[in-house]
Amino acid sequence: MHGFQAVMGKREQGSRSQVRTCATGGFTLIELMIVVAVVAILAAVAYPSYTSHLAKGRRAAAQSHLMDLAQKQAQYLLDKRAYAPTVAALGATTPTDVNTYYTIAVSVDAGPPPTFQLSATPKAGTAQANDGVLAIDQAGQKTPSDKW
């Protein structure tokens, strides 16, 4: 019997150590709540920067499109001796990423001298609504200067 008790004693001792390791192997509710709070704070700080970055990217796409149209207007003037009254007359299409957030307009004055102004007006209800109207004319003047 003495050997049997020694074996049982080792089994009990082994199971006790297993219980201890299992009980200390997880996270407490407080630890999980702290992690969730830290992640929430990081998200609250990062989200405004992310949305600002997206707005700047969309604005850059609109600016690039306006500059492309201005270049096409210069070529159109050389070919036709007048500026094109519409984007379609320039043989250009507005990219989807610009068309979603901006309305592109062409304003032409026959002159003399002939002039044009291209503008990108943010659409109401979109993320760009507070961006302001972007414009470029035949002299390359870009307004507003703080947005270019």
- Asked if residue 70 belongs to a domain, the reply is yes
- Please state the rounded mean pLDDT for residues 115-120: 95
What number of other Cβ atoms are within 10 A of residue 32's Cβ?
11
CA 78 to chain centre: 38
Q: Residue 24 — very low, low, confident or very high, per pLDDT cuts 50/70/90?
A: low
What range defines the domain where residue 74 resides? 2-143
Alpha-carbon gap, residue 106 to 72, rounded angstroms: 12
- Asked if residue 133 belongs to a domain, the reply is yes
3-state secondary structure of 45: helix
Greater confidence, 94 or 20?
94
What total of structural domains would you count in the chain?
1
Nearest partner of 109 among 139, 147, 145, judged by Cα: 139
The three-state DSSP-derived secondary structure of 69-130 is HHHHHHHHHHHHCCCCCCCHHHCCCCCHHHHCCEEEEEEEECCCCCEEEEEEEECCCCCCCC
- Given this model, what pLDDT does residue 18 score? 53
Q: What is the pLDDT of residues 127-140, one digit of tens each?
A: 898 889 999 999 99
Please say whether the beta carbons of 85 and 106 come within 8 A: yes
Evaluate if pTM is beyond 0.75.
no
- Given this model, what pLDDT does residue 36 score? 96
Amino acid sitting at position 81? R
CATH number of the domain to which 84 belongs? 3.30.700
- Asked if residue 95 belongs to a domain, the reply is yes
- Asked if residue 51 belongs to a domain, the reply is yes
Q: What is the pLDDT of residues 77-91, one digit of tens each?
A: 999 999 999 999 999
- Asked if residue 148 belongs to a domain, the reply is no
